[in-house]
Structure 1
Amino acid sequence: MSLQSVKDFFAVHAPDISVIETEASSATVALAAEAHGVDPDQIAKTICLRAGDEVVLLVASGMSRLDNRKFRDRFGAKPRMLEADEVVARTSHPVGGVCPFGVAEPLQIYCDESLRRFELVVPAGGATNAAVKISPQKMAELTSAIWVDVCQPPKAPEA
């Protein structure tokens, strides 16, 4: 159902965007980058978090890490990752395929500033072998996302 809910979302809201299904798994940032021929940081990973009593979806660039202090300052609570079964129940998407499109229940979606530096990002598409290519701004518009700065930039490779 999850992959279909994403396809249905785009059929209604952005019929010009297609869900790309691959033979290879794209369940991790590294696998997704390889499957779609992009830099790992262009993968728009979606994390399902609890902030106090609220459950939210945060979309961030692939190699960025959540900054607990920035998150706490923004949301007034420490971020807590949801267990896989609760992620599926709330989004309809399996871990590795979680995205901000076609979610099972209304959740506030946040896009981290780490995404803005790309013309195109690749979020999952509701399955571990599905994704879409979309501009970060279009993704935020389609999902009514709020822009936040709650991630640390990726660490530079050591020389």
Structure 2
Amino acid sequence: MSLQSVKAFFAEYAPDIEVIETPTSSATVALAAEAHGVEPGQIAKTICLRVGDRVMLVVARGDARIDNRKSRDAFGGKPRMLDAEQVAEITGHPIGGVCPFGLASPLPVYCDVSLRAYDQVVPAAGATNAAVKIGVERMAALTGAEWCDICQDELGPGHRAFGR
């Protein structure tokens, strides 16, 4: 049902954007980058966070890591990742397919400035084998996202990124 809600979202708001379904999983940043022939940073991972009573989505480049201090400053408290069951219930999307499109319930969406390193990014599309290729600014506009700066500035060697 999640994939269908994303397809319905694009049919209504951006019919020129095609949902790409791959025969293999693209549930992680590495798998998605391989499946779509892009570098890991170009994958737009969507993370579902809770800060106090607020639940939100943050979309960041695939190889970025959230900076605890920056995120506390931006959101007024320490963000905590939701578990897989909570994410699926709130977004309507499974882990590995979470995206800011076709959500089960309205959520505030934030796009990290790290995404602006690319003109086009590849976020998931509601399933572990589905994605879209979309312009960064267009994705933010379609989802009503606010821009934030909560990721670490440098992606030094050996960094670890949250899963997509």
**TM-score range normalised by the length of the shorter chain:** over 0.9
Deviation at 1:117, TM superposition (A): 1.4
Equivalent position amino acid for 1:119 in 2:
D
1:86-137: CA deviations, max 9, x gaps? 1001000000000000000010000000001101100000000000000110
1:55-87: CA deviations, max 9, x gaps? 000000000001110000011110100011110
Give the TM-score taking structure 1 as reference length.
0.97
Matches for 1:120-131 after TM superposition, within 5 Å: 120-131=120-131
Matches for 1:139-158 after TM superposition, within 5 Å: 139-157=139-157
Matches for 1:5-84 after TM superposition, within 5 Å: 5-84=5-84
Partners of 2:3 and 2:45 in 1: how far apart? 16
On the 8 A contact 1:41/1:64 being kept in 2, the answer is yes
Partners of 2:91 and 2:27 in 1: how far apart? 16
Partners of 1:44 and 1:154 in 2: how far apart? 17
Q: Equivalent residue for 1:111?
A: 111
Q: Equivalent residue for 2:162?
A: none
Give the TM-score taking structure 2 as reference length.
0.94
Deviation at 1:154, TM superposition (A): 5.0
Q: Equivalent residue for 2:161?
A: none
On the 8 A contact 1:65/1:154 being kept in 2, the answer is no
Partners of 1:153 and 1:131 in 2: how far apart? 26
Q: Equivalent residue for 2:133?
A: 133
Q: Any idea what SS the aligned residue of 2:134 has? A: coil
Deviating above 6 A after TM superposition, structure 1's stretches of 4 or more consecutive aligned residues are none
RMSD (Å) for aligned C-alpha atoms: 0.9
Deviation at 1:51, TM superposition (A): 1.0
Q: Any idea what SS the aligned residue of 1:65 has? A: coil
Partners of 1:157 and 1:34 in 2: how far apart? 20
- Identical residues among aligned pairs (%): 68
Partners of 1:146 and 1:124 in 2: how far apart? 19
CA spacing shift, 1:129–1:154, aligned 2, 3 Å: farther
